[in-house]
């Protein structure tokens, strides 16, 4: 059976979801370069053609259903004291948190006409579940997470964009970042770190 035949030939909405998940899986496993991945995601999001959707994944390898074991855990867990709450507030400016830092168990991020950049790739993440609540109005919030981290996200975009290009997985040994976002005329993006382009 070919890759194309494995997809349910049902409604375009269902097929689009399956194709986007397939693209995200292959990107996380380094089978797709970042620029190719972003282009295909853009096409998948905007097209209503089943044929075009299927063409986006016909050259990609199969990914096992239990693909979580294939994704390397690159996160670091905070084995010491975890702060109960923290806040990032940005008004007509920018906030950046990256490198070695210790996120709180519950974090509020408020971004109004500004930019917030939270990079969890080198952070010491609390064990278990931690929450990140975002209010973004006329601003941009970028959340960078390490591969292997469980990410749960819900967004309410109003004249705005909310995207999560991480892989949905449930690894009982990995911490979970639970993101809830309200976005008004802004942009909230959750993603893995950008990959370096391979040299010929």
What residues does 144 pair with on adjacent strands? 119, 191
Question: Global pTM?
Answer: 0.67
Q: What is the mean pLDDT of each run of 10 residues along the chain (200 residues)?
A: 48 80 77 82 86 87 58 74 94 93 95 96 91 97 92 94 86 89 96 68
CA distances for 184 relative to 44, 66, 74, 101, 189, angstroms: 24, 36, 32, 28, 14
Count other Cβ atoms within 10 Å, centred on residue 99.
Answer: 9
- Considering the domain architecture, whether residues 76 and 43 belong to the same structural domain is answered as no
CB of 133 closer than 8 Å to CB of 180? yes
- Considering the domain architecture, whether residues 124 and 47 belong to the same structural domain is answered as no
At 116 the pLDDT is 96
35, two tokens: 């620029």
- Considering the domain architecture, whether residues 113 and 152 belong to the same structural domain is answered as yes
- Considering the domain architecture, whether residues 115 and 188 belong to the same structural domain is answered as yes
- Considering the domain architecture, whether residues 57 and 75 belong to the same structural domain is answered as no
Strand bridging mode 106-112 / 124-125: unpaired
At 10 the pLDDT is 52
- Considering the domain architecture, whether residues 104 and 36 belong to the same structural domain is answered as no
- Considering the domain architecture, whether residues 140 and 80 belong to the same structural domain is answered as yes
At 18 the pLDDT is 85
Structural domain for 6, as ranges = 1-63
Spatial separation of the C-alpha atoms in residues 137 and 194, rounded to whole Å: 25
- Considering the domain architecture, whether residues 124 and 140 belong to the same structural domain is answered as yes
Count other Cβ atoms within 10 Å, centred on residue 167.
Answer: 22
Count other Cβ atoms within 10 Å, centred on residue 87.
Answer: 11
Q: How many domains does the chain have?
A: 2
Spatial separation of the C-alpha atoms in residues 130 and 118, rounded to whole Å: 14
At 197 the pLDDT is 56
At 176 the pLDDT is 93
């Amino acid at each position: 059976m070919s890759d194309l035949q494995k997809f349910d030939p049902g409604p375009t909405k269902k097929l689009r979801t399956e194709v986007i998940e397939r693209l995200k899986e292959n990107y996380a496993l380094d089978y797709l370069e970042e620029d190719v991945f972003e282009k295909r995601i853009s096409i998948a999001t905007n097209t209503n053609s089943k044929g075009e959707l299927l063409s986006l994944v016909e050259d990609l390898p199969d990914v096992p259903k239990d693909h979580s074991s294939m994704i390397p855990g690159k996160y670091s867990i905070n084995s010491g004291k975890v702060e109960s709450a923290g806040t990032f507030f940005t008004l007509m400016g920018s906030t950046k948190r990256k490198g070695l830092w210790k996120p709180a168990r519950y974090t509020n991020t408020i971004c109004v006409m500004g930019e917030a950049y939270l990079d969890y790739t080198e952070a010491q993440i609390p064990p278990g579940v931690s929450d990140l609540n975002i209010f973004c109005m006329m601003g941009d919030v970028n959340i960078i997470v390490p591969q292997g981290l469980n990410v749960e996200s819900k967004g309410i975009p109003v004249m705005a964009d909310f995207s999560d290009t991480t892989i949905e997985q449930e690894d009982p040994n990995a911490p979970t970042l639970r993101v809830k976002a309200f976005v008004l005329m802004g942009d909230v993006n959750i993603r893995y770190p950008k990959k370096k382009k391979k040299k010929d």
